[in-house]
Structure 1
């Protein structure tokens, strides 16, 4: 990780996938803390983490 940081000048960003429990929208964000995540579609904070299928 230190090598990547020194090469890029910053840490590589990670993506986290969530599903809104209110409207079922799936979305991706760089925010890891579910308490700070809200659905971009309906604004609900009632979301769950979804395992990325990569």
Structure 2
């Protein structure tokens, strides 16, 4: 029974590490959106921070 708990905790830790890496990778991603035939443009990163308007 204790082995099962330790295995579950180990898997949870791995998932946390994978999620943290995914968040870091996403933060490096930038997206450009435009509207009005290019009159309005916005650039944001994966954390929804506005980088340019």
TM-score by length of 1: 0.29
Higher relative contact order (CA 8 A, sep 6+): 1
Structure whose alpha-carbon radius of gyration is higher: 2
- Structure 1 or 2: larger helix share? 2
What TM-score do you get using the length of structure 2 for normalisation?
0.29
Which protein is richer in strand relative to its size? 2
